[in-house]
Amino acid sequence: MSMDVLRLADIDPAALRALFGAHGLSIEWLAAGADIPGSYWGESEAGLVGDTLHVRPDTPLHSALHEACHWLCMDAGRRRGLHTDAGGDDLEECAVCYLQILLADRLPGVGRARLMQDMDTWGYSFRLGSAAAWFETDADDARAWLQERGLLRL
């Protein structure tokens, strides 16, 4: 696991709050080293419990965006029972990755190119070898999934 990715300590927390708070997701900022409730992967990875994203300063930005985008892609019924495992099928997982790349452009100093670089550095796996190649040439199904649900307008 590389440390050469943007962490939440590297961005403006107000920008992340504004991005997701407008849709009803709250963000709980935990102290450095604290256990992260609802973290699927553990350690510094973001966690989801109900309508709250749990993060700390060393949480990778891509992790926070990924989990928050899972939440955005869920209906209210799934959100009510949400704790740790966001669930969803493979196509939804692709849609989540696509959405997190789009939303990176809404965070000052981040942008999609940097987020895709971080996704590759962290070890996300795409059949074309990189997040950028997938996003640019192989993500039509993910984009269509998001469009059907009105999530491309976020």
Residue whose entry in the numeric block shows the structure tokens 């109900």: 50
Average pLDDT of every residue of the chain: 94
pLDDT digits (tens, 9 = 90+) for 11-51: 999 999 999 999 999 999 999 999 999 998 888 999 999 99
- pLDDT band at 3, cuts 50/70/90? low
Compute the distance between CA of residue 114 and CA of residue 28 in angstroms, rounded to an integer.
24
Residue 2 forms part of a structural domain: no
**Number of domains making up the chain:** 1
The tokens for 97 are: 């990755």
Residue 3 forms part of a structural domain: no
Residue 45 forms part of a structural domain: yes
Range of the domain at 149: 8-153
Compute the distance between CA of residue 77 and CA of residue 112 in angstroms, rounded to an integer.
30
What is the pTM for the complete model shown? Answer: 0.94
Residue 1 forms part of a structural domain: no
CB 116 within 8 A of CB 135: yes
Q: Can you say whether the dihedral through the CA atoms of 119, 73, 93, 80 is positive or negative?
A: positive
